Structure 1
Amino acid sequence: MTAPRHKILVTGADLAVQALRVLQDYDVIYAGALPTEQQLIALVKAHDPIGIIVRYGRITRRVIEHARSLKVISKHGSGIDTIDVVAAKDNGVVVRAAAGANAAAVAEHALALLLACAKSISRLNARMHDGHWDKANHKNIELRSKTIGLIGLGSIGRKMAAMCRAMELNVIAYDPFVTQEDNLALVPLEQIWSDADFISLHCPLTDDNRNLISMNTLAACRQGVILINTARGGLVDEAALLAAVRSGQVFAAGLDSFAKEPPDKNHAFFGEPQIILSPHIGGVTGQAYIDMGVAAAENLLRSLVDSGIHERKEATA
């Protein structure tokens, strides 16, 4: 009699074909788009997965504690703030992240938001469609020779730094976990506020940096600073940012992540011409979808090999 196959739960509606090939020895169960905690609890109780690949939704303590056979939680991406890592550790569950798999995609999106803000792309596009020709009374911001401050120097921050240097920007960066970086000035956080014309966030969200962008830090910035956030919404005090944009302290903001996702339909950012928004899709490209899926699947399999549940192919060939 053939032994039943272990199950992998994907908290999303799909996974790249290339990733499914990696998981060919397992049954893959999909939670669907934006699964709730109750839906995830019902699924882990019904299917008892040995692994979870996290695309959407939150993996809470209750989800973990209802998953009796769970051994590994593998993130389809780099940020693990949607996973209760303390609960995972308490229950002997390994948490892995696909660090760097979507770095190029997110960095490109951050640069696109910066350019859109500096060049007033959204407003000029809307004016053109309304029949206006604002050439005589509009001046863009030129990036060349300006200073950009990067907060976070993981794989995404480093990609962003390389692209900004290629555009002749002066790049400074802050990362408490990085002590040296080639061709890049590492500075105290206070120097980011005082020296940067543009600030781009590329750090994970932690209890220590929640609301890093606050009324006080924005007041310490240069007047007319541009803020870009393709990291996590909780890094920004949204009310403080809105006030700073309206006062002119912040010239513009380009945001791909929010404190609550999706934001409420009456969110105060909606309709603000100097705030450019996208629905947390910086890492969503065709190639990144494949790369993140494969990395998440391989990370999951590697952890199962380490735990003795999955045999290495080389050992069975």
Structure 2
Amino acid sequence: MILITEFMDEAWVDWLRARAEVVYEPDLPDRPDDLARLADGVQGLIVRNRTQVRGALLDAGFACVGRLGVGLDNIDLDGCAAKGIAVFPATGANTLSVAEYVVTTAAILLRGAYMMRPAMEAGDWPRGVAGQGREIAGKVLGLVGYGEIARKTGALGRALGMEVVAADPYATDFEGAREASVAEVLAVADVVSLHVPLTDETRDMVNADALAAMKPGAVLVNAARGGIVDEAAVCDALRSGHLAGAALDTFAAEPLDAAHSFAEVPNLILTPHIGGVTAEANTRVSEMTARAVADHLGLG
């Protein structure tokens, strides 16, 4: 049996159903008791980012985990390795989706005019303010992390006339970007985009000090992982005007709870962890994951 705990392209759920018994309940992260019960004895587990594959769940007996995406911070990789559980991320399948999200959102934040609807509907005509937006061409795109998604983001930025600088102590080459330190990226970039996993090293790396070190008037995009940025500090930097705009697609706690700090913060775009999720990307991610799990289980 294969257990799918979060949303997946229906065509590829059906493809798996033609080969094995499948339980597909995409709200299981909100029902941990049911998740534990249904996982007991399954052969394969397919998850996105909300299902925590760790602790007692690793004793359920599954042989593999298919990850509908690339981030693995919700999966205990050491624990899986110790139990011989194979882990299959959908590497590359949503690269273009995330890269497009970063560049298009950065362009919206730089231009600024897209936030004018409430004033216009109230009878104002803020053409003077709206006309002070900036073009993306000629701006510096700073990438913190330079893996596959960051490289595609850089390529799209260059196609729009941006200069690309990148910082990554683990990168083996910087083709398409000028290598820089994180401090230099923050200091020179008009757009800072984060492309690092959530680890002890990267947690809260974009804190109040890092934001203060950013170029005045820059914009920040986080479509990587929640917990990398200090969300309250981002809100403070937006309120003060030091940051011209920010887009957050991932959060320290998902979904947001009533205690969030984002109410009435200016020039802030919030999206519900969908940077890597489009109709096309979901199909690619689902196909890659379904085939990897089926192959591992000998289902063909």
Q: Distance in 2 between matches of 1:14 and 1:78?
A: 14
Go from structure 1 to structure 2 and tell me whether the alpha carbon gap of 1:238 and 1:148 turns closer, same or farther (over 3 Å shift).
same
Q: Distance in 2 between matches of 1:265 and 1:120?
A: 28
8 Å Cα contact 1:196-1:222 kept in structure 2: yes
8 Å Cα contact 2:28-2:34 kept in structure 1: no
Where do 5+ consecutive residues of structure 2 fail to align?
none
Amino acid at match of 1:44: A
Match of 1:296 in 2: 289
1:145 positional shift: 1.1
Q: Deviations over 1:145-203 (max 9, x none)?
A: 11110112222212211110011111111222212132321212121111111101122
Amino acid at match of 2:33: Q
TM-score, normalised to structure 1, is 0.88
Which structure has the larger Rg over C-alpha atoms?
1
Amino acid at match of 2:90: A
Go from structure 1 to structure 2 and tell me whether the alpha carbon gap of 1:164 and 1:129 turns closer, same or farther (over 3 Å shift).
same
The alignment partner of 1:209 has SS state of coil
Match of 2:58 in 1: 64
Q: How many residues align?
A: 297
Go from structure 1 to structure 2 and tell me whether the alpha carbon gap of 1:217 and 1:13 turns closer, same or farther (over 3 Å shift).
closer
Structure 1 segment 111-122 matched on structure 2, within 5 A: 111-122=103-114
The alignment partner of 1:211 has SS state of coil
8 Å Cα contact 2:154-2:176 kept in structure 1: no
Match of 2:20 in 1: 26
Match of 2:78 in 1: 86
Q: Are 2:255 and 1:262 aligned?
A: yes
TM-score, normalised to structure 2, is 0.92
Q: Are 2:106 and 1:96 aligned?
A: no
Go from structure 1 to structure 2 and tell me whether the alpha carbon gap of 1:89 and 1:165 turns closer, same or farther (over 3 Å shift).
same
The alignment partner of 2:107 has SS state of helix
Go from structure 1 to structure 2 and tell me whether the alpha carbon gap of 1:203 and 1:302 turns closer, same or farther (over 3 Å shift).
farther
Of residues 220-229 and 31-40 in structure 1, the stretch that sits farther from structure 2 once superposed is 31-40
Q: Distance in 2 between matches of 1:260 and 1:64?
A: 23
Q: Distance in 1 between matches of 2:97 and 2:28?
A: 22
Amino acid at match of 1:53: I
Q: Are 2:165 and 1:172 aligned?
A: yes
Match of 1:134 in 2: 126
Percent identical residues: 34
Q: Aligned-pair RMSD on alpha carbons?
A: 1.8
8 Å Cα contact 1:213-1:235 kept in structure 2: yes
8 Å Cα contact 1:61-1:88 kept in structure 2: no
